[in-house]
């Protein structure tokens, strides 16, 4: 860091500090988000702090699990991490979730071996759990122990929670645990390890966060910069959720067609050179577009086209 002078307070002062996961599941998606928001940087190999070339921002690359406390304590101004990570770090009162980012979606689940006699969380209470989420799993099973009267006396043992940093899914087959608490997205890891889920603790996705107590003496234009970054990232996220749909439709079928594509505010309807026809342009949610195209054709629309959006402000 010294060679670029990045530890020099003068270099960073006046800049919005923005924490990005340095590796793992969220890393690549964060890089696409920064590119989509035109936040340009050149990261020097092995350096975890780098200056943004076209804005008064410095990016700080950190483990996702450290980002809630860096933001919550006001050491950095903005960050991206998982909602689950914020709860595990017990930082929910110290950070504000400014935006949901529509990636990093998964669930934290209690899992046991498929052929285990343990088939419910009540069966699992009082036994051994291995997890990387010791706080969340601890709170969940503490409540369960209390409900079931597991006080720690002989014959009423409390649930034991043991932390591991990774490969949690291997714990049951290695004989270390009766059940695990881990993230599930596609379920491939869980099934490959011969496990199945018996309870959901929470659903999570990546979020943009800022501190509820920013440090004093931060740059005067900090809030304006936070708003700029937030609205650019919101634009990239919205663009990834919508497509632009265009089609031609006979005027007598127009109302049926625009009922299918009402747009965010209203569709744009333009006359076609051919009498009795209109052209329609409208934003449509990507997840529904295939069904809506089928329905448009069914009501008489022709030449139905869709365009992906690179960016937008909506």
Ligand X SMILES: O=P(O)(O)OC[C@H]1O[C@H](OP(=O)(O)OP(=O)(O)O)[C@H](O)[C@@H]1O
Ligand Y SMILES: Nc1ncnc2c1ncn2[C@@H]1O[C@H](COP(=O)(O)OP(=O)(O)OP(=O)(O)O)[C@@H](O)[C@H]1O
Q: How many residues bind ligand Y (CB under 6 A)?
A: 17
Residue 20 binding ligand Y, by CB under 6 A: no
Q: Give the x/- contact pattern for ligand Y in 52-91, rule: CB under 6 A.
A: -----------xx-----------------x-xx------
Q: What, of ligand Y, ligand X, none, does residue 188 touch, CB below 5 to 8 Å by kind?
A: ligand X
Residues of this chain, 200-259, that bind ligand Y according to CB under 6 A: 204
Q: Is 178 in the site for ligand X (CB under 6 A)?
A: no
Q: Write out the DSSP string of the chain.
A: -GGGTTT-HHHHTTSEEEEEE-SSTTHHHHHHHHHHTT--B-PPTT-SEEEBSSSSEEEEEE-GGGHHHHHHTTSSSEEEEEHHHHHHTT-TTTEEEEEE-S-S-EEEEEEEETT-S--SHHHHTTSEEEES-HHHHHHHHHHHHHHHT--SSTTSPPPEEEE-SS-GGGTTTTTS-SEEEEEESSSHHHHHTTEEEEEEEEEE-EEEEEESSPPTT--TTHHHHHHHHHHHHHHHHHHHHEEEEEEEEEGGGHHHHHHH---SS--EEEE-SSTTEEEEEEEEEGGGHHHHHHHHHHTT-EEEEEEE-S----
Q: Which does 39 bind (CB under 5 to 8 A by kind): ligand X, ligand Y, none?
A: none
- Of 19, 50, 87, 183, which one interacts with ligand Y (CB under 6 A)? 183
When asked if residue 298 is in the footprint of ligand Y (CB under 6 A), the reply is no
For residue 187, state whether it binds ligand Y (rule: CB under 6 A). Answer: no
Site track 243-262 with ligand X (rule: CB under 6 A), x = hit: --------------------
Binding residues (CB under 6 A) for ligand Y: these are 21, 23-26, 63-64, 82, 84-85, 104-106, 166, 183, 185, 204
């Amino acid at each position: 860091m010294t060679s670029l002078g990045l530890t020099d307070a003068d270099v960073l002062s006046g800049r919005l500090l923005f924490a990005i996961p340095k590796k793992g599941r969220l890393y690549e998606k964060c890089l696409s988000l920064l590119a989509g928001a035109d936040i340009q940087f050149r990261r020097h190999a092995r350096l975890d702090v780098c200056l943004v070339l076209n804005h008064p921002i410095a990016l700080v690359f950190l483990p996702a699990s450290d980002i809630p406390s860096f933001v919550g304590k006001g050491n950095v101004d903005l960050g991206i991490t998982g909602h689950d990570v914020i709860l595990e770090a017990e930082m929910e009162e110290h950070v504000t979730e400014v935006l949901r980012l529509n990636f990093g979606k998964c669930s934290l689940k209690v899992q046991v071996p498929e052929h285990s006699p343990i088939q419910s969380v009540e069966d699992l209470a009082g036994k051994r759990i291995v997890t990387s989420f010791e706080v969340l799993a601890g709170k969940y099973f503490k409540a369960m122990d209390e409900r079931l009267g597991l006080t720690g006396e002989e014959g009423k043992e409390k649930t034991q929670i043991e932390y591991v940093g990774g490969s949690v899914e291997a714990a049951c087959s290695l004989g270390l645990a009766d059940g695990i608490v881990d993230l599930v997205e596609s379920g491939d890891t869980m099934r490959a390890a011969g496990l199945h889920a018996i309870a959901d603790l929470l659903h999570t996705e990546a979020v943009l966060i800022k501190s509820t107590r920013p440090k004093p003496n931060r740059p005067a234009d900090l809030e304006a910069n936070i708003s700029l970054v937030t609205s650019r990232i919101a634009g990239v996220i919205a663009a990834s959720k919508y497509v632009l749909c265009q089609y031609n439709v006979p005027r007598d079928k127009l109302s049926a067609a625009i009922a299918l594509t009402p747009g965010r505010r209203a569709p744009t309807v333009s006359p076609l050179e051919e009498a009795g026809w209109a052209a329609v342009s409208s934003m449509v949610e990507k997840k529904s577009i295939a069904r809506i195209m089928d329905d448009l054709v069914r009501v008489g629309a022709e030449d139905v086209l869709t365009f992906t959006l690179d960016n937008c402000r909506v």
